[in-house]
Amino acid sequence: MSTTDPIRLSAIDQARALREGELCSEELTRAHLDRIAAVDGDLNAFLHVSEAEALATAREVDTARAAGEELHELAGVPVAVKDVVVTQGMPTTAASKILEGWIPPYDATLVQSLRAARLPILGKTNMDEFAMGSSTENSAFGPTRNQWDRERIPGGSGGGSAVAVGAYEAPLAIGTDTGGSIRQPASVTGTVGVKPTYGSVSRYGLIAMASSLDQAGPVTRTVQDAAALHELIGGHDPRDSTSLEGGFGSFTEAARAQDVKGMRIGVIEELEGEGFDPLVRARFEESLAALEGAGAEIVRVSCPNFQYALGAYYLIMPSEASSNLAKFDGMRFGLRVVPEESPTAEAVMKATRGAGFGDEVKRRILLGTYALSAGYYDAYYGSAQKVRTLVQSDFAAAFESVDVLASPTAPTVAFRLGEKTSDPLAMYLNDVATIPANLAGTPGISLPSGLAEDGLPAGIQFLAPVRADDRLYRVGGALEALLEDSWGGPLLAQAPELSGGIAR
């Protein structure tokens, strides 16, 4: 495949090509649909492809552009949406049997923003059921495969969105991040993912897992693309009472600045040693050295309470999930299973939830129910909420002396499909570096740091104070340029061509 193939361009370059009349949105959208048809039977990044709707939007954009209408910068550039985000008239399942075939009667606010800017929506991406997992193996509709090695996991829960952009099936995708579900898939697929400040992007229309942790954000191949998509979907929404009113700098300007002179970067001591694979750490150190060479100052900081973050997260998240998922009761929408012997409402609820939920969803609802039950509430949920305060204090103390914090995004490269499915605790450890940001509401970015163990991608994560998302784009944009200079191009260019792809 030639490098001028439009699907290989960044979203911003695709937008430029559309503006300059080098191609039209219908061609661009069709090229992505063709790519999906060629490779997704194998990768399974999409649960639903909305070909007719995407092409209709594309043709509207082309007509509007020909008529000289003012259009959004990204108008006509296709996007894929994680299946946990509701889309009017388009199936939304959260990768669960309990919602199979459900057509939502409304759009999430961020989907309204995508539609208003006229981005053709290619379809809905695969994920762990209800976003519970770190490998997309908990999808009720089969796992997504990593485009670097199809025997490996794509990360989770948003493995579908990460692979969709990483395998050139979509230039842009939407993810959600409750404990790392945007950043960890980005890390193991060689792509870029941003968890915005909590409240930066509306949660209205996200199928909630843990309401105080969930945040939607951009999944892309470049830092500038992430900044542009974040600006499009961000902003205050009166329908989300936790939505923030402005106060953010320009993300796209920061991503273009490529200037880290004088920036103070704190390496989190608790997240760089034991448990992180040697080559993952080596790529991390090289990334820091590149930033130092560009004028940044690297210091070590300690966040002593981060070691308790994983425990707090795996109490708070199941507790909130057990409450949020109570709405799936077989009464108003979704699956209903009626047991013959006892067709009462209670029996119907139990049968429906027993048949409709997968293992991990049941596990977390039961753990949450336990943590919230009388006699254990103070010891578990109450203590976890206190740890949340301590994690926030660690962040506040660290940001008194540094502008951003850094760590490897995930401890390892992509592991093999099936390797950790029988050990829930081992699976939970994948989130050790990403969880603190969710507990504190702070923003985080993951971008590729290079190839590590087994020639697979690793990621570096930066964290910034609440509302300082622009700093992530500044440091991310700068590091991406430095590393791509040293690699002679994007990391994804080193990924194997997919057999069954258009190239072969």
Partner 1 sequence: MPTIGRDDVARLADLARIQLTDDEISRFAGEFDAIMDAVASVSEVATSDVPATSHPIPMTNVFREDVVTDTLTQEAALAAAPDAEDGRFGVPQILGEE
Q: Which lies closer to partner 1 via its Cβ, residue 92 or residue 191? A: 92
User: Counting contacts by CB under 8 A, is residue 421 touching partner 1?
Assistant: no
Provide the b/e sequence for 372-407 (b: ≥16 CB within 10 Å): beeeeeeebbebbeebbebbbebbeebbeebbbbbb
Q: Which lies closer to partner 1 via its Cβ, residue 50 or residue 449? A: 50
User: Residue 498 has what DSSP assignment?
Assistant: P
- Which of 258, 285, 350, 453: binder of partner 1 (CB under 8 A)? 350
CB of 204 to partner 1, least distance (A): 12
- Which of 85, 268, 387, 492: binder of partner 1 (CB under 8 A)? 387
The partner residues of 123 in beta bridges, in order of sequence, read 49, 80
Tokens found for residue 90: 């388009």
* Near partner 1 in 52-91, by CB under 8 A: none
- Which of 367, 405, 460, 479: binder of partner 1 (CB under 8 A)? 367
- Which of 63, 250, 389, 499: binder of partner 1 (CB under 8 A)? 389
Task: Please pick, among 161, 181, 187, 449, the residue that the annotation labels catalytic.
Answer: 181
Question: Does the annotation mark 82 as catalytic?
Answer: yes
CB of 110 to partner 1, least distance (A): 19
Query: What secondary structure, in 3-state letters, does 386-441 show?
Result: HHHHHHHHHHHHHCCCCCEEEEECCCCCCCECCCCCCCHHHHHHHHCCCHHHHHHC
The whole-angstrom separation of Cα 449 and Cα 483 is 8
* Near partner 1 in 240-299, by CB under 8 A: 241-242, 244
- Which of 112, 258, 369, 421: binder of partner 1 (CB under 8 A)? 369
Tokens found for residue 64: 């509007």
Sheet holding 46-49, edge to edge: 46-49, 121-125, 79-82, 172-176, 216-220, 192-195, 444-451, 457-463, 404-408, 264-268, 297-301
CB of 436 to partner 1, least distance (A): 11
Sorted by sequence, the CB contacts under 8 Å of residue 138 that are 6+ apart come out as 95, 128, 129, 132, 156, 157, 358, 359, 360, 361
Sign of the dihedral defined by the CA atoms of residues 312, 318, 322, 324, in that order: positive
- Contact of 181 with 95, CB cutoff 8 Å: no
- Which of 46, 148, 168, 198: binder of partner 1 (CB under 8 A)? 198
Task: Please pick, among 10, 25, 82, 243, the residue that the annotation labels catalytic.
Answer: 82
Question: Does the annotation mark 157 as catalytic?
Answer: yes
- Which of 66, 103, 397, 493: binder of partner 1 (CB under 8 A)? 103
* Near partner 1 in 296-315, by CB under 8 A: 305, 307-308, 310-312, 314-315
Q: Which lies closer to partner 1 via its Cβ, residue 339 or residue 501? A: 339
Q: Which lies closer to partner 1 via its Cβ, residue 326 or residue 503? A: 326
- Which of 370, 453, 487, 501: binder of partner 1 (CB under 8 A)? 370
Q: Which lies closer to partner 1 via its Cβ, residue 289 or residue 366? A: 366
Binding string, residues 323-342; x marks residues near partner 1 by CB under 8 A: ---x--xxxxxxxx-x----
Q: Which lies closer to partner 1 via its Cβ, residue 169 or residue 329? A: 329
The partner residues of 404 in beta bridges, in order of sequence, read 265
- Closest Cα to residue 1, out of 168, 223, 220, 215? 168
Are β-strands 46-49 and 264-268 bridged in parallel, bridged antiparallel, or unpaired? unpaired
* Near partner 1 in 449-478, by CB under 8 A: 466
- Which of 17, 410, 440, 498: binder of partner 1 (CB under 8 A)? 440
- Contact of 80 with 124, CB cutoff 8 Å: yes
CB of 279 to partner 1, least distance (A): 27
Catalytic sites, residue numbers: 82, 157, 181
